[in-house]
Amino acid sequence: MAERPKVIITRKLPDVVEMRLMELFDTQLNSSDKPFTKKQLVKAVSNCDVLVPTVGDKIDSSLLENAGKSLKLIANYGAGFDHIDVKAALEQGILVTNTPDVSASDTADIAMTLILSLPRRLKEGSERIADDRWEGWKPTALLGKRISGKKLGILGMGRIGRKVAMRASAFEMKILYHNRKQIHPQTEKELNATFFERLDEMLPMVDILSIHTPHTPSTYHLLNTERLNLLNEDAFIINTARGEVIDQKALIKSLLNKKIAGAGLDVYEGGKNVTPELKTFKNVLLLPHMSSATEEGRIEMGEKVIINIKTLSDGHRPPDQVLPSMI
């Protein structure tokens, strides 16, 4: 790779990150902050040493067929990489990196915010104030559910899942979890968490289900009609992971039929195209994919991108390379 590799950024990044990128590399920014079109992405991969995409850029095999010989690294700005065909990239000798371990706390905070907000009907209360419908305090108005003592089911006990468990434990919630592998006994003891090898056995027992698993072929529509029906009618679903993990049509049907008590979503199967019907429910709280949206987190993500590029340009393996075993 060239001493000052040509780096193309697909979206606007924090100013401090862009300034550092321009200092170190031959950097092309996207000051408009409009998503690249397919044509622009084709031009970019054919004309750079490093591409820095985000979750909104689909880097598939058909796009990578246009990659120039100089493209050696796709330094993703974000932890998730399901929008990148990592296998196709590796086959062409293009490394892929991401930015792990940065947004776990930020995402856990938003998950906990939804966990607290839904049972206490904060959305409905806020709307009454905004719409001038509040008639003053009443003994039976907007009665919600107490959080302490409730059973929180965590689907995916990775970095984010464990941080959610830590926060929920402080609210005296009981932690149940399903994971590909049981976590270390000491960690399990510290979190006072109970492992369920089978997801189907855990679902009927939870009061709130919080999803923290990546989008892979094995997790696509993991929460389908059959599994949603295993939840009790007083249960809430929280998703700050990937929209594709839940069958959205099945979720809407469960809400319509009052099979579940509500949902708090930060991600959607249609990306930014949120199904209009989801917006009609009083017991559904929708956020615009903002779990990792902190100033500190976004800057740390940029720092990881820079380290990955600099390490490769110096002739070494990037620290955050996405390996085939991670796909």
pLDDT of 325 reads 72
Q: Flag residues of the chain having pLDDT under 50.
A: none
Full-model pTM: 0.90
Question: What pLDDT, on a 0 to 100 scale, did the predictor assign at position 327?
Answer: 65
Count CA within 13 A, CB hemisphere, residue 134.
11
| Per-residue H/E/C for the chain | CCCCCEEEECCCCCHHHHHHHHHHCEEECCCCCCCCCHHHHHHHHCCCCEEECCCCCCECHHHHCCCCCCCCEEECCCCCCCCECHHHHHHCCCEEECCCCCCHHHHHHHHHHHHHHCCCCHHHHHHHHHCCCCCCCCCCCCCCCCCCCCEEEEECCCHHHHHHHHHHHHCCCEEEEECCCCCCHHHHHHHCEEECCCHHHHHHHCCEEEECCCCCCCCCCCECHHHHCCCCCCCEEEECCCHHHECHHHHHHHHHCCCCCEEEECCCCCCCCCCHHHHHCCCEEECCCCCCCCHHHHHHHHHHHHHHHHHHHCCCCCCCECCHHHC
Predicted local confidence at residue 324, as pLDDT = 77
The span from the CA of 37 to the CA of 260, in Å, is: 39
- Which domains does the chain carry? 6-102+294-326 (3.40.50.720), 104-286 (3.40.50.720)
